Amino acid sequence: MGDSEVTVKSKKTVFVTVGTTCFDALVKVVDTQEVKEELSRRGYNELLIQMGRGSYIPQSNVIGEGMINLMGRDSKGGDESIAVDYFTFSSSIADHLRAASLVISHAGSGSIFETLRLGKPLIVVTLKQIISDVKVESLIPYHPGDATPVAKLINRFLGFSED
């Protein structure tokens, strides 16, 4: 599987995620030659895009198990050495976040907090139209949280012992 490939090789992956939204603008931007060249200059050699409900398909140059399509690279003619791959949805986003060296997120709370918990560098790009609606309202220094106090209160309420 592609996942194991990521962990086996010493890859530096940029993982772009848009969650369950449609955020073509972000996918388009990271798919530009400029961004890819800059990422590759900074030592990243893989760009993995989770494109969600978007309709813009990035130019993948990866065939099968993480192999770089040499033809695709030649046709662009550059010194581009970043492998680009994409998918729509995955039930194991956490694995992709864990395997990544840099995360670019659509400002969904799930990907933000998961990335912060992993202590990985994170770039957040907001989709202005929906930010007031469901997105994180403001960003504040992060300390990992703990759900056990809430679990304790729920247990106490229901008459269970608290441990």
Partner 1 sequence: MAWNVTITTVIISVMLILIRLLYVLHQTGKPLKTRGLARGPRSTLIILGSGGHTAEMLNLLSVLQKDRFSPRFYIAAATDNMSLQKARLFEETEDKMEETSRSQFMQIYRSREVGQSYITSVLTTIIAVVHALLLMLRIRPQVILCNGPGTCVPLCVIAFLFKAVGIRWSSVFYVESIARVQRLSLSGLLLYKLRIADQFFVQWPQLQRKYPRAHYVGCLM
* Least Cβ distance, residue 133 to partner 1 (angstroms): 9
Q: Is 120 in the site for partner 1 (CB under 8 A)?
A: no
Q: Is 147 in the site for partner 1 (CB under 8 A)?
A: yes
What would the two tokens of residue 91 be? 């039930």
* Least Cβ distance, residue 163 to partner 1 (angstroms): 9
The single residue among 74, 92, 128, 141 that binds partner 1, judged by CB under 8 A, is 92
Written as one string, the DSSP assignment of 93-141 is HHHHHHH-SEEEE-S-HHHHHHHHHHT--EEE---HHHHHHHS-S----
The single residue among 10, 55, 77, 157 that binds partner 1, judged by CB under 8 A, is 157
Sign of CA dihedral 103, 132, 88, 92: positive
d(CA 85, CA 82): 10
Q: Is 118 in the site for partner 1 (CB under 8 A)?
A: no
* Least Cβ distance, residue 68 to partner 1 (angstroms): 29
Please check whether residue 27 is in contact with residue 54, taking contact to mean a CB–CB distance below 8 angstroms. yes
User: Which residues lie near partner 1 (CB under 8 A)?
Assistant: 19-20, 89, 91-92, 108-111, 113-114, 117, 134-138, 140, 143-151, 153-160
